[in-house]
Amino acid sequence: MFELADPWWLLAFPLAVLPLVAWFRPHVLRFPGASEGRSAWPGVVTVLPALAEALAIGFTVIALARPQHVETETVRDSEGLDILLAIDTSGSMRSPDMGRGLQPLSRLDAAKAVMQRFVEARHDDRLGLLVFGEEAFVEVPPTLDSGALVDFIGSLELGMAGGNATAVGDAIAVGVKRLKDLKAPSKLIILVTDGKSNSGMVQPMDAAAAAKALGVKIYTIGVGTSQIDEATLSAVARTTGGAYYAAANLNQLADVYKEIDTNEKTTAQVREYVHRDELYLDWAFPALLSFVAAFALSRTALRRLP
């Protein structure tokens, strides 16, 4: 990145035109050009010292402003939280009951939008994406590349993990398995669904017990206005030290993620180092050459021109 350490020197930049103004007044009438049948060449040549002086002043002003090339280096002393965002992509998530007023918004689209904002706000944590329906799988392992994760969330589609059922227990089990070997001081699963577990090999409470044993906290969120198994989702969250939230519209869902964001502060320790390379010599040297050229031109060949 390019910066100026003393940008106020640029206020002096108009001084660069003074040599040209000083040359222009006496010479514009002295060499009227072709209208008198004379060559304008001497007049054109005599402007060179003034032009050199103008360049010298301009280069000097820029050098005094101290242009710098600035690079920022981030050193991570410790990792933050490991968070898996688990989202239900079953067919019922297409229900357009999350909008405001008369504007329809599907449950999936509302969840995607809020999750993307959550990811963008967690710069120092590793976040991943887990998708579930009839099946469950980790779409994106925990990563610090928040930009890539935001793009993956935006590409989520209904039915990509099977659209006819919801395997909440399998989703938790897959998430716990992915997080258990990571070394973060805190591991979270934030699970969003609009129904109840009616598929899969693992019961939600069995998966919750495994999560508790392995130190994984689970937040569960029920979205929409359908029949949600709030009792099971609450029990899962409570077992692991998390919490259950109900979100009937986009605003409520956004508030839920804000509360989780506030409650689960990052533990990462990050230091930033700023490296500055001074570039003023790149302008000071041309300024010196221009001054020398102006002096030489005004006291050598141009003195003999009429």
Give the CA distances from residue 276 to residues 50, 76, 105, 258, in Å, rounded to whole numbers and listed in that order: 35, 20, 48, 37
Identify the helix (H) or strand (E) that includes residue 179. helix 168-179
Q: What is the pLDDT of residues 182-222, one digit of tens each?
A: 888 889 999 999 988 999 999 999 999 999 999 999 999 99
Give the CA distances from residue 280 to residues 62, 130, 249, in Å, rounded to whole numbers and listed in that order: 7, 51, 56
Main-chain dihedrals φ then ψ at residue 17, nearest 5 degrees = -85, -10
Q: How many CA atoms lie within 13 A of 229 on its CB side?
A: 16
Identify the helix (H) or strand (E) that includes residue 83. strand 82-88
Please give the domain boundaries of the chain with CATH numbers for all domains.
2-71+277-304 (no CATH), 80-267 (3.40.50.410)
Q: What is the pLDDT of residues 107-142, one digit of tens each?
A: 999 999 999 999 999 988 899 999 999 999 999 999
One-letter amino acid for residue 56 of the chain: A
pLDDT of residue 90: 94
Is residue 301 scored above 70 in pLDDT? no
According to DSSP, residue 92 is labeled G
pLDDT of residue 298: 75
Q: What is the pLDDT of residues 243-286, one digit of tens each?
A: 999 999 999 999 999 999 999 987 666 676 788 888 888 888 88
